[in-house]
Structure 1
Amino acid sequence: MSEHVPVLLERVLALFEPALSMPDAVLVDCTLGLGGHADALLAAHPALVLVGLDRDPAALERSRSRLAAHGDRVHLVHAVYDELPAVLSELGIPAVAGVLMDLGVSSMQLDVAARGFAYSQDAPLDMRMDPTAELTAAEVLNTYPPGELVRILREYGEERFAKRIVERVVRERARSPFTSSGRLVELLYEAVPAASRRTGGHPAKRTFQALRIEVNGELAALGAALPAALAALRVGGRIVVESYQSLEDRLVKQALTALAKSRTPDGVPVELPGHGPQLRLLTRGAEQADEQEIEKNPRAASVRLRAAERILEAA
């Protein structure tokens, strides 16, 4: 397995510094993964308490070992991040100083071929972030109606050739069900026109992304998690989100900018009490990794980072 390198680590540390230096600071890492960001933040803030969530039990076990040196400051929970309110309630934590979301598929999931996330290796069509969940990529590919498959590829993969791909999938699955990623990749090479392959990256990239998002309910979970995470922030608390594709980044942008606006009705000459912006945006648009970081860590190439600070109590 390749060495895990946390993306934009120095920037994440700098953005959280004021919030996590507050007394009784609690940070929720909603996507703990292999614990790279969490370890660095705990080391930088000796009084910080971490609540680490992950839907992948294997990732939790790896992080449990990595973070053991921080003792009882660490609370790890097997949960999807849209379960955040229930997790905080169970732990008796009313508000937090920081929320970190490092979205998408983790390094460990990509590097373990048997998980089926990487189109570069032939593996079972699984793609479950939580192996205890029921739905797999094979089931989606073999049982979903053609129209639903087209929708998923278009919406979640932004795949221009969705209809063409699905026609071939339906024809092939009638001969025998899909079980391996290699067979799907072969089909995608045939279905995606050569001109697009030359300019649009690997022909499997968008379809694999779409299947992964559907299997794990990623956008629905993020859509529910963002408002819950923002509501959990105390005044002065900060949220940092790293997205790796445009659909995630769009949801993050919408959630942050909506609360960074005044709710005083147009035409009212003064700000109504309690109607001012709840958030202050800490980034101008989405920040990206520089060439130096991308050279060291190619997975940083697609990152889009957004951050905000709560400046008014949640309404």
Structure 2
Amino acid sequence: MSSFVHTTVLLEETVTALCPRDGGRYIDCTLGGAGHSERLLQRSEPGGQLLALDQDETALRHAEDKLRPYGDRVQLVHANFRRIREVVRELEFGPVDGVMFDLGVSSPQFDEADRGFSYRFDAPLDMRMDQTQPTTARDMVNGLDEAELIRIFTRYGEEKFSKSIARRIVHRRAVAPIETTGELAELIKEAIPAPARRTGPHPARRVFQALRIAVNDELGALEEALDGAFEVLKPGGRLAVITFHSLEDRIVKHQFQQWARGCTCPPDFPVCQCGNVPQATIVTRKPIVPSAAEEIENPRSRSAKLRVVEKR
């Protein structure tokens, strides 16, 4: 097992957006390399409390060592962030002053070949963020019918060659199961016309993203987690979310707009009949993105967007 090395994205911007203070309570729903968690603890000294969740046991083991100096100011929990309500209730940690999400896959998950996230290494098809869950990418690639594979590649990867890729997979697995990331990446390349392979990112990128999202039910978990996070916030508390692709960002942007929306009556109604009032104020009218310097230092930060909302 290699060491858990992860460069934190939008570190100061995210922590500052949560307005950490002495005595505040904060939740990091995506512990990862613990960069955001550590800075939240530093900025809320001496009495700030932190609850940190992660479904990756490797990340938790790393963070336990990194955050040990903060003692009982921090609690680490092995859980998918969709369970935020339940965890907060069990630990009697709410209501809280701030919640943050740093979505997507951490660098160690990409860089450790045996996790099966990357087309850069030939490894068993896995892609589970929580390795205690039963379903792997191998199970999906070899078990789902052609129509479902097309749906996943189109919806989660926005892959325009979904049909030809799914057809190639089904034909190949009829001969023998597809076992590794290398096999799958080669199949994808074979299914995409040569002109399309010559430009842009690696031809397997979109399908690998789609499978990862499907294996971990990332979008369903995000929708549940946003509702849970907003529920456990106290009035005046803030929710900060870093996204890395348009599917996530669309969900976050839409949910923030829903919370911030007031009256939904037709504009020609002289008096409001719906009674709806805004539940939140959007802090970031436009998302915060990494600086040019951060993009140079950490190329994986280029697609990051930070959105922040404050509960009324």
Q: Distance in 2 between matches of 1:76 and 1:230?
A: 20
Query: Residues 126 and 264 of structure 1: is their aligned pair in 2 closer, same or farther, counting only changes over 3 Å?
Result: closer
Structure 1 match to 2:304: 303
Once the two structures are TM-superposed, the CA of residue 270 in structure 1 deviates from its matched residue by 7.1
Amino acid at match of 1:293: E
Q: Distance in 2 between matches of 1:207 and 1:281?
A: 33
Matched, 1:178 2:178: yes
Structure 1 match to 2:35: 36
Structure 2 match to 1:142: 142
Moved more, 266-275 or 186-195: 266-275
Amino acid at match of 1:102: D
Once the two structures are TM-superposed, the CA of residue 42 in structure 1 deviates from its matched residue by 0.6
Once the two structures are TM-superposed, the CA of residue 168 in structure 1 deviates from its matched residue by 0.5
**2:6 touches 2:106 (CA, 8 Å); kept in 1?**
no
Once the two structures are TM-superposed, the CA of residue 274 in structure 1 deviates from its matched residue by 7.8
Once the two structures are TM-superposed, the CA of residue 44 in structure 1 deviates from its matched residue by 1.3
TM-score normalised by the chain length of structure 1? 0.93
Q: 1:150-189 to 2 correspondence within 5 Å?
A: 150-189=150-189
Once the two structures are TM-superposed, the CA of residue 106 in structure 1 deviates from its matched residue by 1.1
Q: How many residues align?
A: 308
1:14-62 CA-to-partner distances (Å, cap 9, x unmatched) read: 2112xx22x6411111111110110011111112111100111111111
1:106-146 CA-to-partner distances (Å, cap 9, x unmatched) read: 12211211001111111110000011110000110001011
Structure 1 match to 2:288: 287
Once the two structures are TM-superposed, the CA of residue 188 in structure 1 deviates from its matched residue by 1.3
Name structure 1 gaps, 5 residues minimum.
Answer: none
Q: 1:252-267 to 2 correspondence within 5 Å?
A: 252-263=252-263, 265-266=265-266
Once the two structures are TM-superposed, the CA of residue 192 in structure 1 deviates from its matched residue by 1.5
Once the two structures are TM-superposed, the CA of residue 269 in structure 1 deviates from its matched residue by 5.8
Structure 2 match to 1:13: 15
**2:157 touches 2:207 (CA, 8 Å); kept in 1?**
yes
Query: Residues 264 and 160 of structure 1: is their aligned pair in 2 closer, same or farther, counting only changes over 3 Å?
Result: closer
| Structure 1 ranges of 4+ moved more than 6 A | 270-274
Once the two structures are TM-superposed, the CA of residue 268 in structure 1 deviates from its matched residue by 6.0
Q: Distance in 2 between matches of 1:2 and 1:296?
A: 18
Structure 2 match to 1:52: 52
Once the two structures are TM-superposed, the CA of residue 308 in structure 1 deviates from its matched residue by 0.8
Q: Distance in 2 between matches of 1:108 and 1:40?
A: 20
Q: Distance in 2 between matches of 1:264 and 1:178?
A: 51
Amino acid at match of 1:290: S
% identity of equivalent residues: 44
**2:23 touches 2:44 (CA, 8 Å); kept in 1?**
no
Describe the SS at the equivalent of 2:134.
Answer: coil
Once the two structures are TM-superposed, the CA of residue 180 in structure 1 deviates from its matched residue by 0.6
Q: 1:46-85 to 2 correspondence within 5 Å?
A: 46=45, 47-85=47-85
Once the two structures are TM-superposed, the CA of residue 299 in structure 1 deviates from its matched residue by 1.1
Moved more, 39-48 or 152-161: 39-48
Describe the SS at the equivalent of 1:237.
Answer: strand
Query: Residues 147 and 264 of structure 1: is their aligned pair in 2 closer, same or farther, counting only changes over 3 Å?
Result: closer
Q: 1:204-215 to 2 correspondence within 5 Å?
A: 204-215=204-215
Describe the SS at the equivalent of 1:175.
Answer: coil
Amino acid at match of 1:192: I
Q: Distance in 2 between matches of 1:2 and 1:75?
A: 19
**1:2 touches 1:111 (CA, 8 Å); kept in 2?**
no
Name structure 2 gaps, 5 residues minimum.
Answer: none
**1:264 touches 1:276 (CA, 8 Å); kept in 2?**
no
Describe the SS at the equivalent of 1:199.
Answer: coil
